[in-house]
Chain A
């Protein structure tokens, strides 16, 4: 994982612990307390809190503002940053801004296409892509230089992350190759897409380990508990790049409606237990979408609590 930063997540990984991160989605209004409330719910159960950046291209409070708030609560934010909405000037500016508040983790993403969101008629930017953003953060951190060539003294101390999606098939080897490209650009950890298809994920991890890539990039397995069968069906049919096998839909749908949330949590815990045994895994990224209050229960039941200091 090369360069050392003050990141708590990096320290926990370096000490050989399984890391646990989670994420909170900002509100679609100027209510800053929403993030504070969500962060408090999970604070003691995770090592880092991602804040999504206008996820699914729906306009929300910006990730940077929320990360500053989380940092000021004494917690560990992970700044998610997509290249869809900002060019290289704005991206680097926000990285410097985040670093000026002591934010030490960044997740570099290209971002969903805007056609999914609430401003489908917007122009997109995509001046850089995620790989180029990774390389840019690395250059700013390790060389103290901007893409335009300007050199500066106070460098952003970022632990650099990226997403990866083993399920955006059909070719799993291609997905490992893509992560290898991110590793070559400087990525240090990855949080995967929500895992439901365990066979594909195991195939992905096997190629990772065979190539020795798991030593270069810490893989945090993405876990999203299903709230009900409606969510399972929606994720199966509507969310791009997510692979929900029929048996998952059947399992959640196979219990009475009032028991489906419980079944979803149970499945998430079982997934964590199973993934723990997969060689090369370095932690978990629990994305409980608008269900943050369930994170403590999942972390505890999965044997991931208490968190190391």
Chain B
């Protein structure tokens, strides 16, 4: 699931200060789960902005909403009747959702309220860790179910490098070395023979290197 973190309030104030009628739009999808951009965070942000601008002696109209998903047109369309009543929208959805708002309402100024971070899992509440980089050609079958693209800081396909220490990555001691994890997992699975077989260079065309990616499912199109 996509993980995001709220932008600092100062940055958001800087973006919206010249606009009088604001809509803070949350998303009930991924950003709600990671508690960065759901209705709860919409309310907190709206309250903080109201407080700031009131204390600054500025009058602003700040409304709140949250959509089922901002990355689907059918839910975004729910804003159609009200959108003209605002000067700007602060979207607390991921970058996909915020862009979709801008796509649909081309004359509206749209600001991102969160920093979209990665696709990750919830290790514990408030502790999210990246697990997938969406390279478009999953190799988990060969690597004991641990992704070297996402979990090795150098996305090595033949790791580990010489910089790991005590099973930790050279980039930070709180990052487990992805290749140590792969090695141990392959050992557990009785597949260590895989480890010593060189993996050939990856075809990155299905990753971001191939240009803007799209999926066309003819079977789903009507």
Which residues of the partner chain B approach A147 to less than 8 Å between Cβ atoms?
201
Q: Are B196 and A168 in contact (CB under 8 A)?
A: no
B195 within 8 A of A: yes
Pick from B166, B201, B204: contact of A169, CB under 8 Å: B166
A180 within 8 A of B: yes
B200 within 8 A of A: yes
Which residues of the partner chain B approach A136 to less than 8 Å between Cβ atoms?
201
Pick from B162, B165, B166, B180: contact of A163, CB under 8 Å: B162
Contact with B along A105-122 (1 / 0, CB 8 A): 000001111011000000
Q: Are A241 and B153 in contact (CB under 8 A)?
A: no
Q: Are A131 and B158 in contact (CB under 8 A)?
A: yes
Q: Are B154 and A124 in contact (CB under 8 A)?
A: yes
Q: Are B165 and A241 in contact (CB under 8 A)?
A: yes
B197 within 8 A of A: yes
- Counting contact residues on chain B (CB < 8 A from A), the size range is 20 to 34
CA A170 to CA B183, docked complex, whole Å: 12
Which residues of the partner chain A approach B160 to less than 8 Å between Cβ atoms?
168, 174, 178
Q: Are B170 and A113 in contact (CB under 8 A)?
A: yes
Q: Are B198 and A113 in contact (CB under 8 A)?
A: no
A73 within 8 A of B: no
A278 within 8 A of B: no
Which residues of the partner chain B approach A174 to less than 8 Å between Cβ atoms?
160, 180, 183
Pick from A113, A170, A180: contact of B166, CB under 8 Å: A170
A135 within 8 A of B: yes
Q: Are A135 and B200 in contact (CB under 8 A)?
A: yes
Which residues of the partner chain A approach B158 to less than 8 Å between Cβ atoms?
129-132, 178, 181, 185
Q: Are A132 and B180 in contact (CB under 8 A)?
A: no
A262 within 8 A of B: no
CA A84 to CA B197, docked complex, whole Å: 22
Cβ-closest chain B residue relative to A83 = B154
A2 within 8 A of B: no
- Counting contact residues on chain A (CB < 8 A from B), the size range is 35 or more
Cβ-closest chain A residue relative to B159 = A129
Which residues of the partner chain A approach B204 to less than 8 Å between Cβ atoms?
127
B69 within 8 A of A: no
Pick from A171, A180, A193: contact of B196, CB under 8 Å: A180
Say how far B150's CB is from chain A's closest CB, in angstroms: 13
Say how far B99's CB is from chain A's closest CB, in angstroms: 22
Which residues of the partner chain A approach B154 to less than 8 Å between Cβ atoms?
84, 110-111, 113, 124, 126, 129
Q: Are B196 and A177 in contact (CB under 8 A)?
A: yes
A128 within 8 A of B: yes
CA A178 to CA B183, docked complex, whole Å: 10
Contact with A along B126-162 (1 / 0, CB 8 A): 0000000000000000000000000001111111111
Q: Are B164 and A241 in contact (CB under 8 A)?
A: yes
CA A113 to CA B154, docked complex, whole Å: 7
Q: Are A131 and B170 in contact (CB under 8 A)?
A: no
A165 within 8 A of B: yes
CA A42 to CA B167, docked complex, whole Å: 37
Which residues of the partner chain A approach B13 to less than 8 Å between Cβ atoms?
none
Pick from A116, A135, A165: contact of B162, CB under 8 Å: A165
Q: Are A184 and B196 in contact (CB under 8 A)?
A: yes
What 5 A-B pairs are tightest by C-beta distance, nearest first?
Answer: A165-B162, A131-B158, A240-B170, A129-B156, A240-B163
Residues of B within 8 A of A (CB): 153-167, 170-171, 180, 183, 192, 195-201, 204
